[in-house]
Structure 1
């Protein structure tokens, strides 16, 4: 029996008669809400832990689809093994390293190795690019540059540029991993 003022399930053609929870987002009983959620997962995927780390970027976060898993960071199909005979793709990046109130703007294809030789407090951002992009950034921020170096005052224009590069990016390293994964996928 349904209590006073309770709403009945409106599942089309189900003739369910089940009671709808007050907090339900739709006028469906628990059973029909669960069926709708299962249907939605087929189209939207479910974010969950991968069975083991991604073979490309090492992330544990994945999206489970009916057709299989994708890494949530680099979108590599879980279980696919990169061809070991192919050379690792080169992805050049312009990096922004903060040390105190200064920023180093440089370029590298191997940030971890490069950063080991540079004193810094924080990796602010990466952007795809080679020496030409680095030179363009040095020219763009020339008024804030320490003479004949790659170091700059952490000025408002630089802060704004770094914020633009980091929009929607929680960790700059994840962005670099995605670019490498894309380059690896493009290799075949």
Structure 2
């Protein structure tokens, strides 16, 4: 079906009003720092963490705590560790890329160390990226190009739960 320019624009506006239109945010998201948002007639929402643009997280509220198990690759090794602040933790660990995050704390980290013990380098939290570990990381990151986007979404969800 061919439409004239006027009707194409009308159809676009109808879909954008219903489903939103992804675009560059007019300002940075105050929760996760993203510059990509979804524009609705009622306002902007961050495309990464879904925080409403312009809403300021309450400064008196402690930042949300989200414990994660991280999988960070450095050369031919993968570190399986845990942190409540992975940005700060990974800033001091040599790594080439963050492969995935998994929501959980020390207990989950210990279970993963046992699960992948056959690939463990002696005396630490570093593992060879064998087929089992690669498959697990692929399952964790399925549908997510940037693991930090998932982490930011978890943080946003924790903020939303508070109020």
Q: Report the TM range for the smaller structure's normalisation.
A: over 0.9
Q: Is 2:56 the counterpart of 1:81?
A: yes
User: C-alpha root-mean-square deviation of aligned residues, in Å?
Assistant: 1.2
- TM (normalized to structure 2)? 0.94
Task: Find the aligned partners of 1:49 and 1:113 in 2 and give their Cα distance.
Answer: 27
Based on CA coordinates, which of the two structures has the bigger radius of gyration? 1
- TM (normalized to structure 1)? 0.82
Q: Is 2:148 the counterpart of 1:170?
A: no
**How do 1:102-113 and structure 2 match up within 5 A?**
102-113=77-88
* Per-residue deviation, 1:58: 1.0
Task: Find the aligned partners of 1:89 and 1:116 in 2 and give their Cα distance.
Answer: 19
Task: Find the aligned partners of 1:59 and 1:113 in 2 and give their Cα distance.
Answer: 18
Residue 44 of structure 1 is matched in structure 2 by: 19
* Per-residue deviation, 1:75: 0.2
Where do 5+ consecutive residues of structure 2 fail to align?
none
Where do 5+ consecutive residues of structure 1 fail to align?
1-25
Specify the SS of the correspondent of 2:33: coil
Task: Find the aligned partners of 1:74 and 1:179 in 2 and give their Cα distance.
Answer: 8
Higher relative contact order (CA 8 A, sep 6+): 2
Q: Is 2:138 the counterpart of 1:156?
A: no
* Per-residue deviation, 1:105: 0.4
Task: Find the aligned partners of 1:116 and 1:50 in 2 and give their Cα distance.
Answer: 27
